[in-house]
Each structure stands twice: as structure tokens, then as C-alpha cells.
Amino acid sequence: MCLTAIVSLLQFTTILPLGRSVDLAHFARRLYIYPVAGYVIGGIAAMLVFPLPSSPHAAAIALSTVLVLSGFHHLDGLLDFGDMMMVHGGRERRMAILADPHVGAGGFGWGMTIILISFGALLSIPSIIVAIITAEVMAKAAMACISVLGRPFREGMHHFLHKYTKKWFLLPAYFLTLPLLLLPISAIGYAITLLASILVPLLMLSLSNRILGGVNGDVVGATNEITRAVVLVALAAHQYF
């Protein structure tokens, strides 16, 4: 795996100080490495809460860390997506809302809803460390999925990344989630989170194709945030079965 591609990936997905800017095309040509960013972001969050007992404070720190490390970039996509979902009108009207830099009530509502669901789920999981790493890795696998399958409806970051992708990228992207089994997570727990990381991007793809005629960067970012929340809910529910 090319180190330059990983640096390019982390410069795109995080605010980590990694020196001189690397051409994004290095990552785009190996977009299947998306889950690596999940291990890095989730791993840093896990290290911060490692000395702490599972508590509301630990859950808040873990969730806040992954959002801050990501530069709130994907959360911004969720807010734009939320505004678009709440507006009345046709495709052109919805596209205009996506392009609007201001956040409306719809975006605020979607953002608060997803964050609250994620936080509440973390509180219900015995190991915040396992949960936050798993959720970040699966969220990034979901981003790889929708980036590969999602036809761009306009020029932009997603259009740039998508033109380098191949359908076979999906296999190594999900293969990179297998190291999660080295964590104290059951095979069933891994399976349900893997299923979530596949179903969420497919549902987002179907919805975006129907409403917008394709996918853009906001949809990809929203997929990351929603997948994280769904994975955390799945992990919280799994312990009761």
C-alpha cells in the first residue's frame, strides 16, 4: 500500500499536520484505502478515552474527537444534505439548497439528530474504545462504497474522486475492515456492523439518485455520519441479543 496514498487520504479526511500537501490523485487511484482513515481517526479517539471509565464524559470526548479530527468536513455534508431533504420543490431547487453555504433548520435538525443518536448509542455500549474504532472504520468503508457506485451529478470533489474508481475497489475496501476482528468484538457484532456499512450507502445512493439524479460530496459526507450512527446503534442493540 503506497505511503503517499495514505498521506493523501489523511490530508483529505483529517486535520492532522502531515507536512507538504500531496496530490489528491494519489488517494483517488487507491480509494479502497478509505478504511485506513477510520483506523487512524478512531484509534486517536480511543487513545484519548482509554484512561477513562465508560461514562457520558468518555462518550462525549470520543465522539467529539472524531468530529474535530475530521475537520467537521463530513458533518458539513450532513447539514447540507439535511437542508436539501427538508426543502419542498423539484430537483433544481434541491440542488440549489445543497450549494447554499448557509445552514437552515433542516440541516441543524439532521445534524443534532445524528449526533444525539450516536452519543446515546455510545452510552449503551460497554467498550467505547471498540465502538468508536469500529464505527469509524465502517463509516469510511461506506464512503468508499458510495464513492465507487455513486454517479456524480455535477463537477466537484466527488466527481474528481469517482473518475479514478473501479468497481473492484469495493472488495479491498471491505477487506480492510477485517482487522476489526482483532478487537474484542464478536463475529456477529462484526457482521451486523459490516451489513450496516453496506446497506446505508446503498440506501443513500438510491435516495440521492431518485431525488438528485446522482451523488455529490455532500451525500458522501452525510453517508459517513449516518453510517457511524447506525453502526453504533447496531453495536448497542447487539448486546441485548
Mean pLDDT of 131-142: 98
pLDDT of residue 113: 97
pLDDT of residue 142: 98
Q: Which of 115, 177, 188, 187 is nearest to 141 (CA)?
A: 177
The C-alpha cell 456499512 sits at 197
pLDDT of residue 192: 96
pLDDT digits (tens, 9 = 90+) for 107-122: 899 999 999 999 999 9
pLDDT digits (tens, 9 = 90+) for 43-73: 999 999 999 888 899 999 999 999 999 999 9
The C-alpha cell 419542498 sits at 88
Predicted confidence band of residue 240 (pLDDT cuts 50, 70, 90) = low
Instruction: Classify the C-alpha dihedral 226-190-68-36 as positive or negative.
Output: negative
Rounded Cα–Cα distance for residues 213 and 172 (Å): 27
pLDDT of residue 1: 54
Q: Which grid coordinates belong to 214?
A: 446522482
Please report, as a single letter, which amino acid is at residue 132. I
